[in-house]
Structure 1
Amino acid sequence: MRTPRPLTPRRTGAALALALAGPLTLVACAPGGDPDGGVVVTTNILGDITRAVVGDEAEVTVLMKPDADPHSFGVSAQEAATVEDASLVVHNGLGLEEGVLRNVESAEEAGVPALAVGEHVDPLPYTSDESEGEPDPHFWTDPRRVATAVDLIAENVVEEVDGVDAEAVRANADAYGAELATLHEWMTDEFDTIPSGNRKLVTNHHVFGYLADGYGFEVVGAVIPSGTTLASPSASDLSSLAETVEAAGVRAVFADSSQPDRLATVMAEEAGVEIDVIPLFSESLTAEDGGAATYLDMMRANTTAIVTGLTSP
């Protein structure tokens, strides 16, 4: 249990307003009995993972909507207040959530514990183009790192969120960890069906470095030569990548399902060869009927799409 946070001016003003208003209205507690704001999670991928860990022990609020871009999504004033009232903020970190970073930092300044998950899962550096050397935030494409994240989230929830059953949270984490181990084994078997000469990836932007490192792929390049979708490729970038793609004999370009595939299509046309443009769920979960409503669904769908794209004649 953490030491209670001192009242900031905002909190003090709210308390005074309630006192002057007369009789207090009872505030409903979260399922686990936590009277604060529960756990607030920035991205929907981490939100799904955190909900699996927390279960019914506390309220989990996810800020990023389905099919959104983690690099550019923002929050409303009400959601920003929810962040500052949280018992724990779980965010990806490593520069991913560019649109809500100031909200997370503001919450930390107000005394809210915040867990930057990506910083604690042995992050890899980008290895090419304009992001070279910077830490890659897209760790979730490796389920083994997600397993590390699960244990990390569980321990932070137990430590920071009042009223949770520690044994229940840790049991949830163990159960989800077992599902991740099964997922990793299945992905390994599926990727082993791709001939070694075909294990080359071109994507919309640099997002699959962890998958490539863990499962023996070569990242030939990206249409957007950056780790963020907020960057833009130049004509020379596209021309250079087209030459690389043609020389490597790449069979498919994988574009994020939440982003238009126009740039990937232009690059394929620039290469002067026939290349399939295949959508992947790389940075966001979907709505229930969108094909990737959970992290496990997303990884299975992506694995199947990659195998199909790189083995089809």
Structure 2
Amino acid sequence: MNRVRGALLASAQIVLLAAAGTACTPNDSAPTIVVTTNILGDVVENVVGDGGEVLTLMEPNADPHSFGISARQAGAMESADLIVANGLGLEEGLQAHLENARAEGVPVLEVGEHIDPLQYGEGESAGQPDPHFWTDPARMIAAVDAVVDALEETGGLGEEIRAGAEAYRAQLEDLDAEITTTLEDIPPERRKLVTNHHVFGYLADRYGFEVIGAVLPSGTTLASPSAADLRDLSEAITEAGVPAIFADSSQPQRLAEVLAEETGLDVEIVPLYSESLTEPGDEAGTYIDMQRVNATRMAEALTRNP
């Protein structure tokens, strides 16, 4: 009887050990995805959920044109199953790292190649592709599709990720409709944008705005305006009667303030979250929250009585 009881106990221990081993074994098929910007990082995390591991390189409140990475992050890029980058020249400080990862055989998805990019119409960047496509939620739906296709090509597309992509597409469609409603009361003569640099071309194209100009006459924050640039923009603002200048919340606003003084008009400086998310939990901690805040501030500034 004791031998039988001992045999049963031993069998039970073997079953428990086997179950424990199974529970502790990592899911080798779950992809490791490195994302360059925190805006795309939030999108990819929503799509992937627990179906993979997502590492976002860009810290909250950083500038995507100039941020750098650590040696550990560079190593993670070279061992990833997929890198998701914005592309179209946005990540100016990461090009060498992206090329190194490609040389190591890591697939690199540059999302900007898949979203029907626009070109800058004026300034130093005229004729070049505009990388700021995230200001149009419809193009972010195309970005989700591009991520799903890339994961399918690399063998990392599981059912959980398919479901996450479908759910997040629906959220982006709702966001697009919500922004349309938020902006619809802005009269046509007030649908004119002046920004710190050329960052809202896609939003203007999507929702029927005209971009009058930018304090920095470029698609990058690394540019600097000349006195002639400021004079020309000042004249355009005066002629158009623009009531507000929209400046990125993470950038110094002194240039926009100087320009407002140059016009001789009462031009409000309105901070927007144009190029980076804030810390999680803050008002622009997710892509969807960022878009909502920006649309609300635009609507308030452009419908306010003079």
TM-score (norm 1): 0.87
> Which residue of the other structure, out of 233, 239, 254, is the alignment partner of 2:225?
233
How many equivalent residue pairs?
A: 282
Alpha-carbon shift at residue 290 of structure 1 (Å): 3.0
Instruction: Determine the structure 1 residue equivalent to 2:272.
Output: 280
| Aligned residues of 1:30 and 1:58 also touching (Cα < 8 A) | no
Q: Tell me which stretches of 4 or more aligned residues in structure 1 moved more than 4 Å.
A: 29-32
Unaligned runs of 5+ in 2: 1-23
> Which residue of the other structure, out of 85, 91, 96, is the alignment partner of 1:97?
91
Instruction: Determine the structure 1 residue equivalent to 2:185.
Output: 193
Q: How does 1:56-67 map to 2 (within 5 A)?
A: 56-67=50-61
Instruction: Determine the structure 1 residue equivalent to 2:20.
Output: none
Distance 1:181 1:262 in 2: 36
Unaligned runs of 5+ in 1: 1-28
| Aligned residues of 1:31 and 1:56 also touching (Cα < 8 A) | no
Q: How does 1:14-29 map to 2 (within 5 A)?
A: none
Residue 260 of structure 2 corresponds to residue 305 of structure 1? no
Q: Deviations over 1:26-47 (max 9, x none)?
A: xxx99643487x1000000000
Distance 2:264 2:97 in 1: 45
Higher helix proportion (structure 1 or 2): 2
Residue 155 of structure 2 corresponds to residue 155 of structure 1? no
Distance 1:48 1:184 in 2: 17
Rg larger for = 2
Q: Percent identity?
A: 56
TM-score (norm 2): 0.89
Distance 2:50 2:293 in 1: 28
3-state SS of 1:129 partner? coil
Distance 1:256 1:161 in 2: 39
Relative to 1, partners in 2 of residues 1:61 and 1:161: Cα closer, same or farther, differing over 3 Å? farther
Q: How does 1:111-122 map to 2 (within 5 A)?
A: 111-122=105-116
Q: How does 1:70-219 map to 2 (within 5 A)?
A: 70-160=64-154, 162=156, 165=158, 167-219=159-211
Moved more, 284-293 or 172-181: 284-293
Distance 2:292 2:129 in 1: 25
Amino acid at match of 2:127: G
| Aligned residues of 2:30 and 2:53 also touching (Cα < 8 A) | no
Instruction: Determine the structure 2 residue equivalent to 1:224.
Output: 216
Alpha-carbon shift at residue 288 of structure 1 (Å): 2.2
Alpha-carbon shift at residue 134 of structure 1 (Å): 0.4
